[in-house]
Amino acid sequence: MSGSQMSWVAQPGKPLVGEITVPGDKSVSHRSVMFGAIAEGTTRVTGFLEGEDTRATAAILSRLGVRIDAPSAGERVVHGVGLHGLRGTAEALDCGNAGTGMRLLAGLLAAQRFDSVLIGDASLSKRPMRRVIDPLQQMGARIESEGGLPPLRIHGNNVLQGIDFECPVASAQLKSALLLAGLYARSPTTVREPHPTRDYTERMLRAFGADIDFSPGLATLRPGQALIATDVDVPADFSSAAFFLVAASVVPGSHLRLRRVGMNPRRTGLIDALKLMGADITVSPVGEQGGEPVADLEVRATQLRGATIPEPLVPDMIDEFPALFTAAALAEGVTVVSGAAELRVKESDRIAVMAAGLRSLGARVEEKPDGAIITGGALHGGHADSQGDHRIAMSLSVAAQCASGEVRIDDVANVATSFPGFDQLARGIGFGLRLA
Ligand code: S3P
């Protein structure tokens, strides 16, 4: 069966009950192997996400001459080669489905002495790269692409200068690409954001010994410092927990606990949004893991109400809109999402694909250029297409738990990019979900 032919059949299961741990954070996993690769010494990563996206990044670093051992699932030992130790390869470097992999590696590879080519799958090949190409070129990089889309042909042997850059979009990937290039520049690099985004790159660079100052929405990196290997213990991914926060809120009788979830404040906007909708979620902080706050989350089913999602929350929940759309379709009343045009350039056009998926189950969704107006109500069975978008597949499977009939969801193989084993974990707590 080819990946795009893989489908799920989902139907109402039981109330969702139990205690689960979701896999490691995708953003932190990508960065842990990248920074470990260009550090001096050996970085041990635990809790590494065994997803296709993060494995693709590790495989690319191996191609560039970095030894990365995998002694057990979720564990990586990265034998760092130092800032100047990567070796070029004539082979194209395949980032798979991963925007984070491609954009961050573009920054790193733009600063090397060798040429490289970054490619991706059909979805990644449609995603905008101009946002990283333009400022990297202002720093002195040379990158060729057709129409600002992958593949990226990156030329080496350039002298990079630092940049003081005001980002036109709130994007942690853009910020991180510039900071990675900035490690190699002749002068400091400052990145200013229109809204603060996840600061894993800044935190991790500091933990690896880089000379970096940062506060929400602003980061300045001074080059000239070697990175020193540091172990990274990856917390559980909030974005993977998100599907279960919504599922246990909407499936009557549910009571679910999620253990030790990463709670970086730039990631947890969905909790605020769901609470506005009347969700019953208790957050119990349990300390830090890998320099990030972690918490146990407890959620009980309630009747959600529609809400207007405040625009300042959008960057803090940018990956959670497919799940939020599902919550809105099952809430009482109207939910309004605006200021979220970035959703149109994610793994799919998430506004259009979620709207189509939910409508095929009977939901009322009005699309807007930068969001949607969703009127909650009852869902029926049907046939929906995730268009190869992992988060849409999982969000539709949550919606199906409350539909009156069976829901077939097509093109679900890419769930393995971020959440391998989602279906087993979900079945274990009561989901009705199986491979078609
Ligand atoms: C990510 C940043 C976000 C997010 C993506 C992961 C990161 O993308 O949507 O899933 O790890 O930096 P943008 O930078 O495009 O907002």
DSSP-assigned letters across all residues of 359-399: HTTT-EEEEETTEEEEE---B--EEEE-TT-HHHHHHHHHH
Strands 189-192 and 218-222: antiparallel
What integer pLDDT is reported at residue 1 of this predicted model? Answer: 47
Which residues belong to the active site?
319
Tens of pLDDT, residue by residue, the chain (436 residues): 455 689 999 999 899 999 999 999 999 999 999 999 999 999 999 999 999 999 999 999 999 999 999 999 999 999 999 999 999 999 999 999 999 999 999 999 999 999 999 999 999 999 999 999 999 999 999 999 999 999 999 999 999 999 999 999 999 999 999 999 999 999 999 999 999 999 999 999 999 999 999 999 999 999 999 999 999 999 999 999 999 999 999 999 999 999 999 999 999 999 999 999 999 999 999 999 988 999 999 999 999 999 999 999 999 999 999 999 999 999 999 999 999 999 999 999 999 999 999 999 999 999 999 999 999 999 999 999 999 999 999 999 999 999 999 999 999 999 999 999 999 999 999 999 999 9
Between the CA of 106 and the centroid of ligand 1 the distance, in Å, is 14
Q: Which of 25, 26, 27 to mutate to test the pocket of ligand 1 (most atoms within 8 A of CB)?
A: 27
Nearest to 164 by CA among 191, 142, 127, 137: 191
Crossing angle for the helix pair 26-37 and 200-207, to the nearest 10 degrees = 40
**Residue 242 falls in which region: left (phi positive, over 0), alpha (psi -120 to 50) or beta:** alpha
User: Using a 6 Å CB cutoff, which residues line ligand 1?
Assistant: 27, 99-100, 171-174, 176, 198, 318-319
What integer pLDDT is reported at residue 4 of this predicted model? Answer: 65
Contacts of 224 (CB under 8 A, 6+ apart): 211
Structure token pair of residue 420: 């391998």
Task: Give, in order, the Cα–Cα distances in Å from 38 to each of 64, 99, 130, 392.
Answer: 11, 20, 25, 34
Q: Is the pTM of this model over 0.85?
A: yes
In the chain the domains, ranked by start, together with CATH numbers, are 3-24+235-435 (3.65.10.10), 26-233 (3.65.10.10)
Between the CA of 107 and the centroid of ligand 1 the distance, in Å, is 15
What integer pLDDT is reported at residue 291 of this predicted model? Answer: 86
- Which atom of ligand 1 approaches the CA of 173 most closely? 14
- Which atom of ligand 1 approaches the CA of 26 most closely? 11
DSSP-derived 3-state class of residue 228:
strand
